[in-house]
Chain A
């Protein structure tokens, strides 16, 4: 089986600083790969090279049989990689429907003029959210009135609705309370069951062990080790994060 995504020999230099030195890993369909590592290890830089925010100094990324390296962020999104940033990039003053469709809104013509199909977009949002096990109390309300977990679900719904094959999440639970962290972990399980590949960045050990099919530990810009949760423990992962290789 060829991997859904394969990163080979990624390197990123910022001026004289080599933020990422040599990182290679694969992600398969329906698999959740956790990138773990201390602050400054290079996790965010790695995912930005995958999502097209940065062009790698060296190395390449293949996805779904095609070479992605050097393509624009927009092209990579269209190819099926959706990145969910910590701030979620939601428009808080708009309802879930408009957030789901932001940038690709549905319109209906009336008297030759396009009008936003608000109702239709809202219904689609309710449907996608339902498939994630989330019930929105009032789908006409702006998303700022929703809980952190529900907002996360809207960002994830956007990925599903636009048929993402790979979803990248940068520390999705960092700003959430405990019940909402659980909601997000449940969302990740549902995404996996839909066959979506996931790259999850985290340095919260319980989250890492709950979500990961494989754990890839980064330290100072290189892969310090790769483990399945069943073959390792907290202690070993922390040791690898601190930079003791293997």
Chain B
């Protein structure tokens, strides 16, 4: 491979573009705030906490999704897996009433997660054993989870009264909102899983060339099922946090986040063809989107501009991915 300093510099630039982009937009909003109001945007606890909570909500859908995308698949069902687990958790708490205390909430968390895992098992079974393309299979379970969540919720939002649940969604420990701590723990575990374990290597290899792992004696079907269960699992945690934050479970809790979660994974360096992407990249991607969301609201623009902005960033991410492929000599 021919390579001079110029292209290798360009390559590292493309690999680090999401970091640079994050710094750029933070700088932009800070400058804007200083000029318009004379106050800081970034260096306020409220701003940082708000951005971090928004990023966490995106991340909980995006973390499991990262593994699925690295393996060369997609999971669209997470949009309603989140809602399903949110509704189930709320129903369990409502069933036992506000006197249930922590025991009820812990039970509700467990049942909510279980509901999410069922969706993941179905996805894994469809993709691994029935050979349904994941895009179609998870589009099917997207619909099913949405329908079932609406049915069990009676078509409405399931509101609850539980101090314990509220503490999970809104509590702050040492300055860190609980959702942020939860997302951070999940991110660390998934980062370890993807970069330091055999499971992670096999996930990358699966995304590059399924035959490579198959002939290495890895049980690919089992691996795929685990991937989709992990994806449903983190989306489910997202639903639990949602119910805690808003004291209500809603079937469409995750729907508006799906686009952001997918975007975060691709901004973070994943590729549509699989085999690429990292947890750290996805975290940066989620933070970028949260900064755009919050920054636009802060600057007083109509909130709809966030959709346009995130859409533009997705397109930039894809262009960067393709120029990177050209530089490293990947034939598409």
Contacts and interface: CB of A to CB of B under 8 A. Distances in A.
Interface of A: 74, 77, 85, 87, 89-94, 98-99, 102-105, 107, 113-116, 142, 144-146
**Prevailing SS type, chain A contact patch:** loop
Contacts of A85: 211, 215
A91 B329 contact: no
Nearest to B274: A93
A91 B203 CA distance: 10
A194 to B, nearest CB: 22
Given A92-B275, A107-B198, A113 B192 contact: yes
B192 A91 contact: no
Contacts of A92: 208-209, 275, 330
B277 to A, nearest CB: 10
Contacts of B217: 74, 77, 103-104
14 contacts: A87-B209, A90-B209, A91-B212, A93-B208, A93-B275, A94-B204, A103-B202, A104-B216, A104-B217, A105-B198, A113-B192, A114-B196, A144-B330, A145-B328
B8 to A, nearest CB: 11
A114 B213 contact: no
Interface of B: 1, 192, 195-198, 200-202, 204-205, 207-209, 211-218, 275-276, 328-330
A102 B216 contact: yes
Contact of A103 (B192, B218, B328): B218
Contacts of A105: 198, 201
Given A92-B208, A145-B1, 5 more contacts: A89-B212, A89-B214, A91-B204, A91-B213, A98-B205
A8 B202 CA distance: 38
6 nearest interchain CB pairs? A103-B216, A91-B205, A93-B275, A102-B216, A93-B208, A91-B212
A79 B213 CA distance: 19
Nearest to A137: B1
Contacts of B276: 93
B213 A102 contact: yes
B72 to A, nearest CB: 11
Contacts, number: 76
Contacts of A146: 1
A116 B204 contact: no
A214 to B, nearest CB: 28
B205 to A, nearest CB: 4
Nearest to A105: B198
Given A92-B275, A93-B207, A93-B276, A98 B201 contact: yes
Residue with the highest number of chain A CB atoms closer than 10 Å, among B195, B196, B214: B196
B197 A114 contact: yes
Contact of A89 (B204, B211, B275): B211
Contacts of B211: 85, 87, 89
Contacts of B200: 116
B328 A144 contact: yes
A90 B205 CA distance: 8
A99 B208 CA distance: 12
Nearest to B206: A91
Given A89-B215, A104-B216, A94 B205 contact: yes
Nearest to A78: B217
A144 B201 contact: no
A98 B209 CA distance: 14
Contacts of A87: 209, 211
